[in-house]
Structure 1
Amino acid sequence: GNPPGVKLLGYNFPKEIIGKNLAKDFYYIPEDRKIFLEELKKRKGIVKDYEVTLKRRDGTPVTVSTSSHYYYDEKENIAGVEGIFVDITKRKQSEKLQQALYNISKAANSPITLDQLYKTIHQELSTIIDTTNFHISLIDEKENKIYFSYYFDEKDDISSIQKFDFSNTLSANTIRTKRPLLVNRKKINKMAEERKIKLSQLGTLTKKTLWLGVPLKVENKVIGCMALVCYYDLEHYSKKDIQMMEFVSTQVATAIERKRTEEILSKSQQEFI
């Protein structure tokens, strides 16, 4: 075995992996081991920069790039496989992120409706973060109100709610402060005590609710908020996720603003005819 590879997967000593089943314990998808070995055979015992997802000790996936080869015994029989593994999880994540941003921008410039754009944004972001519960709220400048233009949620359906006051929601707070927010149930209760939000305006709250929201800004003006909610895991989103959501928010805000302007224009042209 190779100690660095061992460390990469979260084991401290090579002896901790003795007696483990390679495919089952170290491959995120056990069948991938077989595919890897077939590839090795096909390429006459040498692979370079082969990508595969392995499994860390704690069960989480890690994408690696491996250059591996057969090693032989004295009789020139294949004795096993050895190689180096490089963790490329970050690189893969970054590629996915760039792809998602590109696709959102492409969608904003294609002849689709604003509603279709929201669905595209939702779908694209789901490739880089858990978007099971995904909300976009915008400011209606004329009415000086906040409304949810896209609300996808496993617990609540707000499509039936008309003329509701959302001015003291977590999204509204994010819009007002112009800063990202990551809060658990405890912090949500504290914010309510401090009158920053009203619990009556929030949707379902579980003991393990975790809410992450980032402001949507075009140039320096906040036009809305994009939020994610998890109802069952207080560790589900982290500071890293805030940074990533902030990073994509610029592209998302620009895309929405572009489509909104487009729809207002075509509406006014139709009225003009």
Structure 2
Amino acid sequence: METNSCPPLPTVMDLLLDAICVVDTEGRYVYVSAAYERIFGFRPEEMIGRRMIELVHPDDRERTLQAANEIMSGQFKPNFQNRYIRKDGKVVHIMWSARWSEVDQVRIAVAHDITELKRAEAMQAALLAISEAAHTAEDLLALFQRIHQIIGELLPARNFFVALYDERRDELSFPYFVDEYDQAPAPRPLNSGTLTSEVVGKGQPILMTPGTRADILLGPDVQYIGHESLDWLGVPLTTPNGCIGAIVVQSYSGDVRYTVEDQALLQFVSNQVASAIERKQNATWLQYIAGHDVLTDLPNRELFHDRLETALAAARRDQQRLSVLYIDLDRFKQANDSHGHEIGDLLLRETARRIRRCLRESDTVGRLGGDEFAVLLLGIHRPDDAAAVAEKIRDALSRPFELSGHQLEISSSIGIAVYPEHGEDRKHLMRYADTAMYAAKKQGRNQSGIADSRHDTELDA
């Protein structure tokens, strides 16, 4: 009569995909099965006599020791999870089933590798978190900070930056840059030949390690700028509208190394990151243009009035003066009709630039519409201070304009109103400045003048 033969028990245990471990009362391995090498990277003979806790991730050691004490007190642990550091430095997530043998005075445990499951869960959580951040972040900086935090939960991201490409300006900028050695680089053209510009220009990731450095930096086309990192990993930010930038992580020491697995993970979340950034950029742009003149990039009438209201409240509280200048361009219509709207638009842009250069950072210039501009001057000491600024602007606008091969000459009429002399609210100040501007125009144009407070009755009629 035949009987079924069974392989020896050690052979059976070595055939299992999960690792079987036996640890003594001092926490040292006395036995590990063959699967231990597949999961942890160490051969069984390397582990005998070694303390179990040495391989546990530092952040998980305290609760692992607590769980070991509970097991040794007789508790059965069927689903305990922690992280270990493999021989190659990678982190593995383990689910343990363990119990204590009182007779043998050892802990017997089965280790199941759940790293891929944890990675999938982490990526799904990251995608949801990025999507949520796109809707809740107050601005782009807050979004970048949250993205940095989210990516840092997937892989080491101590040195992390976001690069964005503005195709209209051909400008690659670095609005978010966290690095232990370097400051954010200045904006540069896309063809600047840097690693980041290569990622954005070609729309392909780059993983530079000591083994690939020579090939990547071969020739003059690609150069490395800044403190040299050991590993450099950049992936493109791609949307249906094209590549809008890149996200980059880098490491300066052997403690953190990046792999093709890290590249795949970062690339996986990059599309969601790109969509989040583009969504926030669009929302920021819509908010911006709601208060700005698209042609000159100046505050429009509504935003200028809002800033004036805010400034008036502060001036009342602090008992300070402020001034409003109302500027109208003389002979703009003739220049626009003679040379066309394209030249007229260039003239308005250059006018805005020249006015800006006459002001302090704390002052505001806005375009009210057509060829009319307004200036808000804060903290002036006397009306003559405002008159001096008006003369500076008038002089700047009276100089010839060189625009696309055309030389144009215009001038400006400027009216000045001062708080509190000419009114204590926005409407009165704007009306006084407007009236003073028309008075200057009647005097022969290319003039500036301060409002006459004797016209109270006329203005309020």
**Normalising to structure 1: TM-score of the pair?**
0.82
The residue number in structure 2 matching 1:177 is 202
Letter in 1 for 2:257: H
The residue number in structure 1 matching 2:387 is none
Give me the whole-angstrom Cα distance separating, in 2, the residues matched to 1:59 and 1:214. 23
Match of 1:96 among 122, 125, 130: 122
The residue number in structure 2 matching 1:219 is 240
The residue number in structure 1 matching 2:138 is 112
- Secondary structure (helix, strand or coil) at the match of 2:288 reads helix
- Secondary structure (helix, strand or coil) at the match of 2:291 reads helix
Give me the whole-angstrom Cα distance separating, in 2, the residues matched to 1:99 and 1:52. 19
Match of 2:176 among 147, 150, 154: 150
Q: Which has the larger radius of gyration?
A: 2
Match of 1:130 among 140, 150, 156: 156
Contact 1:213 1:227 in 2 (8 A): yes
Where does 1:117-266 land on structure 2 (aligned, <5 Å)?
117-158=143-184, 161=186, 164-165=188-189, 167-168=191-192, 169-184=194-209, 194-199=219-224, 202-205=225-228, 209-219=230-240, 221-233=242-254, 236-266=257-287
The residue number in structure 1 matching 2:56 is 27
Which range moves more in the overlay, 169-178 or 243-252? 169-178
Give me the whole-angstrom Cα distance separating, in 2, the residues matched to 1:151 and 1:39. 46
Contact 1:173 1:196 in 2 (8 A): no
Cα offsets for 1:84-110 (capped at 9, x unmatched): 110122222322222222111111011
The Cα of 1:268 is off from its aligned counterpart by 1.0
For structure 2, the residue ranges without an aligned partner over 5 or more in a row are 1-21, 23-31, 293-299, 303-461
Letter in 1 for 2:200: I
The residue number in structure 2 matching 1:268 is 289
The residue number in structure 2 matching 1:67 is 97
Give me the whole-angstrom Cα distance separating, in 1, the residues matched to 2:129 and 2:282. 20
- Secondary structure (helix, strand or coil) at the match of 2:109 reads strand
Contact 1:174 1:215 in 2 (8 A): yes
The Cα of 1:60 is off from its aligned counterpart by 5.2
Cα offsets for 1:219-269 (capped at 9, x unmatched): 261111111222334981111111111101001000000000000000111
Give me the whole-angstrom Cα distance separating, in 1, the residues matched to 2:107 and 2:240. 54
Distance 1:183-1:21 versus aligned 2 partners, 3 A rule: closer
The Cα of 1:209 is off from its aligned counterpart by 3.4
- Secondary structure (helix, strand or coil) at the match of 1:131 reads coil
Contact 1:146 1:167 in 2 (8 A): no
User: How much is the aligned-residue C-alpha RMSD, in angstroms?
Assistant: 2.8
Which range moves more in the overlay, 105-114 or 186-195? 186-195
Distance 1:211-1:139 versus aligned 2 partners, 3 A rule: same
Paired-residue identity, %: 26
**Normalising to structure 2: TM-score of the pair?**
0.51
- Secondary structure (helix, strand or coil) at the match of 1:139 reads strand
Cα offsets for 1:8-50 (capped at 9, x unmatched): 333333x543333333x343445444311344367x5312111
Give me the whole-angstrom Cα distance separating, in 2, the residues matched to 1:121 and 1:243. 17
Structure with the larger RCO, 1 or 2 (CA within 8 Å, 6+ apart): 1
The Cα of 1:62 is off from its aligned counterpart by 2.9
Please tell me whether residue 51 in structure 1 is matched to residue 81 in structure 2. yes
Give me the whole-angstrom Cα distance separating, in 2, the residues matched to 1:158 and 1:166. 16
Distance 1:245-1:80 versus aligned 2 partners, 3 A rule: same
Contact 1:210 1:234 in 2 (8 A): no
Cα offsets for 1:100-159 (capped at 9, x unmatched): 221111110115111110111111111111212212111112212221222222221126
